[in-house]
């Protein structure tokens, strides 16, 4: 692999899917698949740093996932809590800025406090920004952005004309991803070919890559192979080359 001359994506995003099927194949509980998936997060984070990717974002829990059995929700939130505490020193050692984005009002007070602590302690790090989308959905994000915009209009009627001149690039700042570049590449594991309400606005021009590998088996080798695939893509943005 010619890593030196390769086109490296600035922002890679992953829809981490297939934990349940990975566990089922082994006759294990779905929760075992989620626990193994944490190892893939670690491996892909390391690989992203090694490849020179600046933003790695992971779809960990959708707004729709609140419809799963409470025991599975508790396991997933518990894993999030535990991993964050365990990884904090590794984030500091490796220059990783950690962020959680999503509808945080639905998370427990304990989890929110741990997230705030981890975000605050890593906010100066710049080697890699690791974003976990938790209780997130694309439609929710666009709607909360629209509500913020409407509230600003109501607060500042004298600026009505200026605000109504809003362009797509200006709308970005109302989204929870404000300040974060749009994903260059969105990977979905486990063979499913849908976005499941993920980054609907921000992914407007992302390259899409669907892998049959189940998330717990998606490690450094698979991540590097995805970087090679991306390097061969021709991004035209509607223009003629
Ligand atoms: C991804 O794996 C994890 C989450 C969506 C939280 P799944 O739990 O969706 O696994 P499958 O799709 O049932 O195999
Ligand atoms: C998408 O996976 C959400 C995450 C990976 C967090 P799901 O397994 O929930 O998606 P569907 O139900 O197959 O669309
Ligand atoms: Mg799934």
Instruction: Tell me the per-residue pLDDT of 140-167, one tens digit each, with 9 for 90 and over.
Output: 999 999 999 999 999 999 999 999 999 9
Averaged over 210-231, what is the pLDDT?
A: 98
Calculate how far, in angstroms, residue 197's C-alpha sits from the geometric centre of ligand 1. Answer: 14
Choice between 98 and 1, residue whose per-residue pLDDT is larger: 98
Averaged over 160-187, what is the pLDDT?
A: 97
Identify which of 144, 201, 138, 139 has the alpha carbon closest to the alpha carbon of residue 168.
Answer: 201
Active site residue 94: no
Averaged over 128-134, what is the pLDDT?
A: 98
Q: Which of 4, 65, 125, 182 is catalytic?
A: 65
Active site residue 17: yes
Pocket of ligand 2 (CB under 6 A): 15-17, 59-62, 65, 192, 194, 196
Q: How confident is the model at residue 24 (pLDDT cuts 50, 70, 90)?
A: very high
- Residues 207 and 230: beta-carbon distance below 8 Å: yes
Q: Model's pTM, two decimal places?
A: 0.97
pLDDT at 4 over 70: no
Give me the pLDDT at residue 228, please.
Answer: 98
Q: Edge to edge, what strands does the sheet with 11-15 contain? A: 96-101, 128-136, 55-62, 11-15, 185-188, 207-210
Cβ-defined contacts of 124-127 (< 8 Å, 24+): 124/97, 125/91, 125/92, 125/95, 125/96, 125/97, 126/95, 126/97, 127/49, 127/94, 127/95, 127/96
Give me the pLDDT at residue 6, please.
Answer: 82
Q: Is 19 in the pocket of ligand 1 (CB under 6 A)?
A: yes
What is the CATH code for 11-137+183-231? 3.40.1180.10
Which two tokens mark 72?
């599975």
pLDDT at 3 over 60: no
């Amino acid at each position: 692999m010619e890593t030196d001359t390769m086109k490296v994506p600035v922002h890679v995003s992953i829809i981490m899917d297939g934990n349940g099927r990975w566990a089922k194949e082994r006759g294990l509980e779905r929760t075992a698949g989620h626990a193994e998936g944490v190892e893939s997060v670690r491996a892909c984070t390391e690989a992203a740093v090694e490849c020179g990717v600046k933003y790695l974002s992971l779809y960990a829990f959708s707004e729709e996932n609140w419809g799963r059995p409470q025991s599975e929700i508790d396991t997933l939130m518990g894993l999030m809590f535990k991993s964050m505490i365990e990884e904090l020193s590794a984030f500091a050692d490796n220059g990783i800025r950690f962020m959680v984005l999503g509808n945080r009002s639905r998370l427990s007070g304990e989890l929110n406090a741990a997230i705030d602590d981890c975000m605050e302690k890593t906010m100066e790090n710049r080697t890699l920004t690791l974003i976990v989308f938790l209780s997130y959905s694309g439609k929710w994000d666009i709607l909360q952005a629209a509500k913020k915009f409407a509230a600003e209009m109501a607060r500042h009627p004298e600026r009505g004309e200026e605000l109504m001149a809003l362009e797509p690039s200006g709308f970005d700042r109302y989204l929870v991803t404000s300040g974060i570049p749009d994903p260059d590449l969105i990977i979905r594991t486990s063979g499913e070919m849908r976005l499941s309400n993920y980054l609907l606005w921000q992914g407007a021009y992302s390259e899409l890559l669907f892998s049959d590998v189940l998330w717990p088996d998606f490690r450094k080798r698979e991540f590097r192979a995805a970087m090679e695939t991306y390097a061969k893509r021709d991004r035209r943005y509607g223009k003629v080359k």
